[in-house]
Amino acid sequence: MKAATFVGALPEPETQPQPTPFVEMRKVWKRFGGVVALRNVDFAVWPGEVVGLVGDNGAGKSTLIKTLAGDLQPSAGEIYVNSQQVHFRHPRDAKAMGIETIYQDLALCDNLDVVDNVFLGREVCYKGFLGILNRRLMYQETVDLLQRLGISIPAVEQAAVNLSGGQRQATALARVAKVGARLIILDEPTAALGVRETQIVLELIRRFKSQGIALIVISHEMRDIFDVTDRIVVLKQGNVVANKVTSETTEEEIVHLIIWGRA
Ligand SMILES: Nc1ncnc2c1ncn2[C@@H]1O[C@H](COP(=O)(O)OP(=O)(O)OP(=O)(O)O)[C@@H](O)[C@H]1O
Ligand SMILES: [Mg+2]
């Protein structure tokens, strides 16, 4: 896979619908002892598409994304990336294919500053001076990246613990942009955010989409789901009970499906 260094280096917006999904699950089951968390799940996301994943507590949303992210292995069924079957044993296997997940509370290291969070695990050292970090380069790249993404963080030297919720999400998104993610999975990205901060995160999602990146957004917030997604998949007790084009459904219908599992 070709990994771009910066979001600015990613391909132009997709003009043609892609013939094959970026990622696809076929007949996936996940059992935890006697609990069936996923039942025969078919699920797919195309490049440049934002899919909303909704369902009540315990419906299987986190299990589904953890299975895609290599955190969990399916009990049965198949997963494909760009039409190739994959067997993720570890999150790094999924990351190597461009699949990045932003979990709500694990997104940043609180004691590190914004620069270090953006570069976490991929720090830049001076050429020839193994182990000496090139802080100035990392600082400048972080400022440039945030600017390109339209993210406003006044001081990138401040520890992440001081950031607002929206700035935290934005920093986490900047980090995945930097590794050239092809699928970004967001678990409750706007939970507990204010109105303006929510708008910043939704705008970032639109930008990634316009660059051909696929996104899965888990949210209980129907307004955000309807604002930003192209398609909505409803899970109930581990079953996919609906798969709707967002512009062809309503909040009432989706809420009804979440509760009753049928129209
Ligand atoms: N590690 C685990 N061990 C045992 N059971 C689990 C495990 N993880 C999830 N489950 C069970 O699988 C089912 C689906 O859980 P999951 O966390 O995927 O739901 P969810 O849709 O993400 O819910 P929420 O909206 O509350 O986050 C639940 O019944 C849950 O108790
Ligand atoms: Mg969950």
Tens of pLDDT along 7-55?
Answer: 444 444 444 456 899 999 999 999 999 999 999 999 999 999 999 999 9
Q: Rounded to the nearest whole angstrom, what is the distance from the C-alpha of residue 130 to the centroid of ligand 2?
A: 41
Q: Is 62 in the pocket of ligand 1 (CB under 6 A)?
A: yes
pLDDT category at 153 given cuts 50, 70, 90 is confident
Q: Is 126 in the pocket of ligand 1 (CB under 6 A)?
A: no
CB 71 within 8 A of CB 95: no
User: How does pLDDT run across 53-75, given as a tens digit for each residue?
Assistant: 999 999 999 999 999 999 999 99
Q: Rounded to the nearest whole angstrom, what is the distance from the C-alpha of residue 135 to the centroid of ligand 1?
A: 41
The answer to whether residues 25 and 100 belong to one domain is yes
Q: How many other β-carbons are positioned within 10 Å of the β-carbon of residue 26?
A: 14
pTM (predicted TM-score) = 0.86
> In this model, does residue 78 exceed pLDDT 70?
yes
pLDDT category at 124 given cuts 50, 70, 90 is low
**In the structure encoding, which two tokens stand for residue 60, read together?**
């299987």
> In this model, does residue 106 exceed pLDDT 60?
no
CB 241 within 8 A of CB 43: no
Q: Is 91 in the pocket of ligand 1 (CB under 6 A)?
A: no
Q: Is 55 in the pocket of ligand 1 (CB under 6 A)?
A: yes
Q: Which domain holds residue 141?
A: 110-162
Percent of the chain with pLDDT over 70: 87
119's enclosing H/E stretch is helix 114-119
The answer to whether residues 62 and 122 belong to one domain is no
**Which ligand has the minimum distance to the alpha carbon of residue 60?**
1
The answer to whether residues 114 and 102 belong to one domain is no
CB 70 within 8 A of CB 88: yes
Average pLDDT of the residues in 128-155: 79
Nearest atom within ligand 1 for CA of residue 59: 21
The answer to whether residues 200 and 71 belong to one domain is yes
Q: Is 260 in the pocket of ligand 1 (CB under 6 A)?
A: no
The answer to whether residues 211 and 103 belong to one domain is yes
Q: DSSP state, 33?
A: T
Give dist(CA 259, CA 236) in Å, integer. Answer: 8
The answer to whether residues 117 and 139 belong to one domain is yes
The answer to the question of residue 195 being in a domain is yes
CB 225 within 8 A of CB 240: no
Q: Is 63 in the pocket of ligand 1 (CB under 6 A)?
A: yes
The answer to the question of residue 14 being in a domain is no
Q: Rounded to the nearest whole angstrom, what is the distance from the C-alpha of residue 124 to the centroid of ligand 1?
A: 38
**Mean of the per-residue pLDDT values of the chain:** 86
Q: Rounded to the nearest whole angstrom, what is the distance from the C-alpha of residue 37 to the centroid of ligand 1?
A: 6
Give dist(CA 159, CA 148) in Å, integer. Answer: 21
Q: Which residues lie closer than 8 Å to 113 by C-beta, 6 or more apart?
A: 156, 157, 158, 159, 160
Confidence at residue 40, expressed as pLDDT on a 0 to 100 scale: 98
Q: Rounded to the nearest whole angstrom, what is the distance from the C-alpha of residue 27 to the centroid of ligand 2?
A: 20
> In this model, does residue 95 exceed pLDDT 70?
yes
Give dist(CA 166, CA 196) in Å, integer. Answer: 8
Confidence at residue 169, expressed as pLDDT on a 0 to 100 scale: 83
User: How does pLDDT run across 162-209, given as a tens digit for each residue?
Assistant: 888 888 888 888 888 888 899 999 998 888 788 888 888 899 999 999
pLDDT category at 132 given cuts 50, 70, 90 is low
The answer to whether residues 92 and 115 belong to one domain is no
The answer to whether residues 94 and 186 belong to one domain is yes
62, 219, 233: residue to mutate for ligand 1 pocket, most atoms within 8 A of CB: 62
> In this model, does residue 94 exceed pLDDT 60?
yes
Q: Is 180 in the pocket of ligand 1 (CB under 6 A)?
A: no
CA 218 from chain centre, in angstroms, equals 9
Confidence at residue 122, expressed as pLDDT on a 0 to 100 scale: 65
Give dist(CA 237, CA 136) in Å, integer. Answer: 50
Q: Rounded to the nearest whole angstrom, what is the distance from the C-alpha of residue 62 to the centroid of ligand 2?
A: 4
In which residue are the tokens 């089951």 written?
29
The answer to whether residues 30 and 76 belong to one domain is yes
